[in-house]
Structure 1
């Protein structure tokens, strides 16, 4: 008598996914892009090591849904990045995966056609192609690592990685971060607590062994060396912001107590701006003042920015989407972005040498 089936009872289908090697073969890394990726990582590592007094800014759309508008944004950002490069290092925010509280569009990789067809195979290749284009424009790219398998598909095109507020406490994501080739920012919890982020940085700094896939798509035991460039991202939470000087000082003390470098990035969005993009410039101005007044632990900032301000629901007729406007969190527009970044550069540039000598 055959055994009763006990597994895969809620699985509707197994659709074959191309391996990382196959996707990379379809969209190979170019020499130009490789140089931009490596130069971006080295610049961020130098800032985190205090060998470079500049401040980095991860700036761009909350999520990518239209690659044409995304590359339009990237070209604008490249011009601005060159203009402010004596004081600031700009890294384009290129987020393809969106964690959902319950349901909703999960991002460009999961559903690239935005029609619930969930062509992840197509989404992964399109995402890699977009990252390649951004790097070939001359901009390093940043993303959030949500799916633990995804970095094998496009990690060679990323210069900075975030671990989100919902996953900083996850052992899976801490293990993954320990093997990433980029500096990694762990966000504080949605309740505003620092413990998950600090422990995440500490855990990721050590070697780990865990299950994953190799470039051929085979199940493998991944053994990592540990990531020396983890840091904390303050994004507010628990009903209050945490970018103020007292919150920053508490974060410094928590990192020092854990025997970690006091490296802190301030996310100008999310709970730090009460999810109102109009407050992002106010947050950035306050953080700029802290740096000008001598703070050395704040090494970077994050801004949610797009061509157009605000956000929009995803319509049934996708031709009705507004060009360059977010379909996830609301963003500041391009004109505001330019003003914010230029103001920060103008304020910090005279004091940069003091920051270096401090």
Structure 2
């Protein structure tokens, strides 16, 4: 149901709001697209395994790989099938999690992701977007593959979080009190990225805040405004993604970050993002960065033990293409199948080689430690 702001409020409120559109409640969407027992087992097993890797109990390397954003669920699922096969092939050395990002933070304006604009045309059919995101996560779980996502909107996790094994808070929102509070109540391990300027303290503070009990405004399963009280999330960690000053994945950078985390009472084992500022957003350079991280694992030393995981932006086709929502709305857009519409991604063949190399590096680290 859609109503105008004038129909529902007084003459002094919502003067710049054009309309309100009712959405299904989280409970309604869960009833429509339920989490069955096999999918729940995949999610829970994924959470336990991620937790074990981050705590150093499991000596495999965590690899979160997938498109920068999911814009075409069919192509995303084809990618997931390939990733599931690779995960099985390397399961002794790698714990592979599918990157399934449905919300995109924008520095200014632009397409905000599948949940916000699932038809890619500026229509912002959020109800459809929530359904598509939930269905996609169910399909990925059906492949036996755990999924990870970035949480951007504070309301949307009520619709999808039961299907997520690992969560991330991005560089633009790691400093946000809202996102720290949200993370304190999430049921899976959550990583916080360092700030866009490269500041590590933002992520350290975020981990500490999210590990504490919090009380804040939110919604319940029936969509009602509620006071949300949390117990705190003990499974927070840092993600190094570089910054405006340059990359921060070197052995020295990793060692310093791990020492700072330990000094702050935070898990010193961390994840390194091979994309974003660590690769200058070049998908060609990203593969090189991933291999350099693998070389650190093989070399041993403090940084090798501190690196618990790697993030990769990868899709079927390499690079990125421009998405113009106006062209989509007009029916004149021609989008390449399996290519990112946000950040440039490594193509699948390169990704397969990188996964094999990282598996070898994790195996070498295990041998050296033994």
TM class, shorter-length? over 0.9
Does structure 1 retain, via aligned residues, the 8 Å contact 2:270–2:307? yes
**1:308 is matched with which residue: 317, 326, 340?**
317
In structure 1, the partner of 2:347 is 333
1:309 aligned counterpart, secondary structure: strand
Does structure 1 retain, via aligned residues, the 8 Å contact 2:297–2:365? no
TM-score w.r.t. the length of structure 1 is: 0.96
**Which 4+ runs in 1 deviate beyond 6 A?**
none
Structure 1 position 233 matched with structure 2 position 239:
yes
**Alpha-carbon separation, structure 2, partners of 1:280 and 1:304:** 8
In structure 2, the partner of 1:155 is 161
Structure 1 position 216 matched with structure 2 position 222:
yes
Tell me: CA distance 1:351–1:23, structure 2 relative to 1, closer, same or farther (3 Å). same
1:265 aligned counterpart, secondary structure: strand
**2:363 is matched with which residue: 349, 355, 358?**
349
In structure 2, the partner of 1:252 is 258
Give the root-mean-square deviation of aligned CA atoms.
Answer: 1.3
Does structure 2 retain, via aligned residues, the 8 Å contact 1:53–1:353? no
Report which stretch shifted further, 310-319 or 249-258: 310-319
**Alpha-carbon separation, structure 2, partners of 1:72 and 1:63:** 14
Tell me: CA distance 1:10–1:53, structure 2 relative to 1, closer, same or farther (3 Å). same
**Alpha-carbon separation, structure 2, partners of 1:244 and 1:68:** 37
- Structure 2: which 5+ residue stretches go unaligned? 1-8
**2:92 is matched with which residue: 55, 66, 86?**
86
Report which stretch shifted further, 325-334 or 42-51: 42-51
- Equivalent residues in 2 for 1:274-293 (5 A)? 274-293=280-299
Displacement of 1:107 after TM fit?
0.5
Structure 1 position 297 matched with structure 2 position 306:
yes
Q: Deviations over 1:319-356 (max 9, x none)?
A: 6110000000000000000000101112331432544x
**Alpha-carbon separation, structure 2, partners of 1:345 and 1:238:** 30
**Alpha-carbon separation, structure 1, partners of 2:10 and 2:264:** 51
Tell me: CA distance 1:73–1:250, structure 2 relative to 1, closer, same or farther (3 Å). same
Does structure 1 retain, via aligned residues, the 8 Å contact 2:54–2:270? no
Q: How many residues align?
A: 354
Displacement of 1:228 after TM fit?
0.7
**Alpha-carbon separation, structure 2, partners of 1:259 and 1:47:** 18
1:91 aligned counterpart, secondary structure: strand
**Alpha-carbon separation, structure 2, partners of 1:268 and 1:310:** 15
Does structure 1 retain, via aligned residues, the 8 Å contact 2:246–2:277? yes
Does structure 1 retain, via aligned residues, the 8 Å contact 2:294–2:357? no
In structure 2, the partner of 1:322 is 336
Structure 1 position 134 matched with structure 2 position 140:
yes
Displacement of 1:283 after TM fit?
1.0
Does structure 2 retain, via aligned residues, the 8 Å contact 1:183–1:229? yes
- Equivalent residues in 2 for 1:188-227 (5 A)? 188-227=194-233
Q: Deviations over 1:48-81 (max 9, x none)?
A: 1211111100000000011110110000000000
2:62 aligned counterpart, secondary structure: strand
Q: Deviations over 1:253-309 (max 9, x none)?
A: 211111112021000000000110101121112211222222211100000000000
2:172 aligned counterpart, secondary structure: coil
**2:68 is matched with which residue: 51, 62, 83?**
62
Structure 1 position 123 matched with structure 2 position 129:
yes
**Alpha-carbon separation, structure 1, partners of 2:39 and 2:272:** 28
- Structure 1: which 5+ residue stretches go unaligned? none
In structure 2, the partner of 1:53 is 59
Report which stretch shifted further, 115-124 or 318-327: 318-327
**Alpha-carbon separation, structure 1, partners of 2:52 and 2:264:** 22
Displacement of 1:166 after TM fit?
0.3
Tell me: CA distance 1:351–1:256, structure 2 relative to 1, closer, same or farther (3 Å). closer
TM-score w.r.t. the length of structure 2 is: 0.93
